[in-house]
Every structure is written in C-alpha cells, then in structure tokens.
Amino acid sequence: MLGKGLIEARPVVVDELRLPNGAFSTRNLLAYVLPDAEFESDYAGILGMDVISQMGVFSLNASYLRLHRTPPSLRSYVRIPAVVKGRTCLLSLRLGRGQPIPFLWDTGSGANYLSPNILPSQLQRRGGRSSIVPANGSKLHQVLEDGTKVEVPIDRKKLWRFGEAKLGTISLNPFLVYHYPQVLGWSQNCYGILGFPLLTEYEITADFVNVRLYVQRYRWNLAGTYGLSLSAVEAKGKLRWFLGYEIPLGEGIPALPRTAELLAVDGMPVDAWETIPLTQRLMFPKARQLCSVKYFDGRKVATTVLRAVGVPYFGMPLFYFHGVSMPKTEFKFEGGFAQSQMVLEIPKAVKGVRGVRRRLQVE
C-alpha cells in the first residue's frame, strides 16, 4: 500500500547496503522491487524512514542529509512536540482551532496530506476552508485489486487551506493540505503527513538513539511566489499588463480582483519597466520578498503590498504558480521538483517590448 494505492511489488533481501564512504551500512535488509512505471524521474529507488532510522542520528534540510557517527551536542532553538519511537517520527500539529493531532513526518513527500479519519466537517470547524486546485490540477495513478490501473483526479474541493496552523512554536501560515479519502489508507492513530515543506526553513535532527528531536532555523535562498497570474496584450504599439490572484495568499492581504490592469510596480510606472525585469520581479521572487503593486480594477485605483511565500509550503509543483500569458509567446516548463527549467521567449513580432532582452530563463 503506497500513497498511490495498491501496487504489485516483489520482495527481496539485500545482502548489504552501504554508503560509498563507509559512514553507514546494514545487512539483510528487506526491500521491494517496484514496477518501472513507479519511477518517473532519474532515481532508481526510495530510501525510507525504516532505513534512515537505523542510521541512528541524522540531520535533514532542503539541501542535504547529514549522518552523525556519534550523537552530536545539539540544542533545539525551535520547540516542536514530537515522538521519536521505533522507526517513525510523529509530529504534533495544531490545525486551526482544536487539539493538536499527530502527523507522520515523511522526509521525501513534496506535499502535506490529511487522512480520511478527519471528516471535511471537522476540518471546517477547525477553521479550514476548501480551496480550488488550479485548472491544470494533478492526477494520481492507482492500481486496483484486479490489477487494472486508473487515473484518480484530485477533487477540486479536497484542497484545504488553514489561515492558522502551528507546529509547536512554528507558525505555518498559510497552510495547505490535501485530503485524499479515496486513495490513502491510514491507521487510526495517524492523521496526516508532513513532508518536504517543513524542511524549506528548518533543519531537523532526529536522534533515534536517545529518542530526541532537534529543530533549528535553516535559512537558504528559497524560491517564492506571490500567487499571481500575469498577462499582456498589444494596444497601440505598447503592452498593457494585467494581473490577478491564482490563489488567495496570507491573511490580512487585500484580495486582488480576478483581473486588474497593472499600473505600477514598486512605485515605478509599468511603462518605465523593461519587459523581462518586470516579468522576473512579479513571477520569480524569493521567499518573504515584498512587492508593491498599483492597479486599476475597472472602478478604482488601488495599491497593495504582496509578500512572497515559499513555494513548497503549498505542497504543489512550482510551475502551477507561474502563469505568464503574452501575445505569440510560449512559456515552457521542463523538469521536476528538484531540477527544473522555465523559459519565456518573446518573438520579435510582438510590439511594445521594452529593453534589449527577449528571453527569460530560470533554473
């Protein structure tokens, strides 16, 4: 039973598993050979918590996994209620209003999940709001008991947004989780998964020898998003820019209308911006970066300040939040979560482009 449902796998005993530098090794390891169709990237296997926990002590953040030969002398600068036991690590998360509930920490998951043990009515009572998954939403591949494979679309009403979520003293706001009642099978004492999003700002050290968990702030150059869609149209030899919110971001931030004409960015009129730097500024910020936008919604002129949120906090792939539409222009995405490349090429036939650069490439 995996997150995608039931699959057929062949059990095998690995005589020896070791790291090249000899820092860790284990023998007679029970493993499973999965079908080739399960691997859509350039990796050949999954190293789970059952193996990682045998390493004794390890530290993990968004960039690397570090093993410790001996338990290090650490002090937790951030307090997270957790239970380190056996081969699992359970974190206690408070979703909105109500008592904290246990979440399993999955070091490789790119999203946060909720179990079918939590009914939508209970999520609503905790302050959760059902949000709409972007139009190009994902699909899961599920293998049924008879061996047939089906595509299970993500229900638009199964993405829940919490304006208030706390992991000990850490505030995860806004916090989005998926609810998969038809796909995931859970035990009664586990209510969800916390995945990679937690590692974008914090380094976690799990000590399975002394059953302790240490958390420290980890700052790195995290990509962010304002959650905007950006479009341009030709009008009398120049480009008119329009923007809107793809999804709501942050409590207390005035919601933009679905489509509004962009007048100025950071106090500088749009006509004074070169085209590529303007696109870069609005669509590819760093996490926690601020941006002031002035716009006309068809009735009045208004100004608001946006704050970029780290993309992994949404638990969705990066490219969902980079909608750029320009005349005769293609915005291409290639790659996956770890390695991706986005390219915007503006044909010379498009009038009104300011500046000498007509190509934006982001890796």
Q: Is residue 11 very low, low, confident or very high in pLDDT (cuts 50, 70, 90)?
A: very high
Assess whether 135 and 276 both reside in one domain: no
Residue 302 has pLDDT above 80, yes or no: yes
Would residue 2 count as lying in a domain?
A: no
The domain tally of the chain equals: 2
Assess whether 250 and 211 both reside in one domain: no
Share of the chain above pLDDT 90, in %: 13
Assess whether 198 and 235 both reside in one domain: no
CATH number at residue 86: 2.40.70
Higher pLDDT, 274 or 23: 274
Secondary structure class of 50 (helix, strand, coil) = helix
Q: Model confidence over 210-256: pLDDT tens digits? A: 888 888 877 666 677 787 888 899 988 899 999 886 554 443 344 45
Higher pLDDT, 276 or 38: 276
Q: Is residue 167 very low, low, confident or very high in pLDDT (cuts 50, 70, 90)?
A: confident
According to the model, what pLDDT value does residue 38 have?
Answer: 62
Which helix (H) or strand (E) is 279 found in, with range? helix 275-283
Range of the domain at 272: 224-362
Assess whether 182 and 305 both reside in one domain: no
Q: How many CB atoms lie within 10 A of CB 139?
A: 10
How far is it, in rounded angstroms, from Cα 69 to Cα 52? 13
Would residue 5 count as lying in a domain?
A: no
How far is it, in rounded angstroms, from Cα 178 to Cα 315? 8
The reported pTM is 0.57
Mean pLDDT of the chain: 76
Assess whether 248 and 306 both reside in one domain: yes
Higher pLDDT, 180 or 170: 170
Q: Is residue 322 very low, low, confident or very high in pLDDT (cuts 50, 70, 90)?
A: low
Share of the chain above pLDDT 70, in %: 72
Secondary structure class of 66 (helix, strand, coil) = strand
Query: Who contacts 215 (Cβ-Cβ below 8 Å, separation ≥6)?
Result: 76, 77, 78, 79, 80, 168, 170, 202, 203, 204, 205
How far is it, in rounded angstroms, from Cα 219 to Cα 202? 7
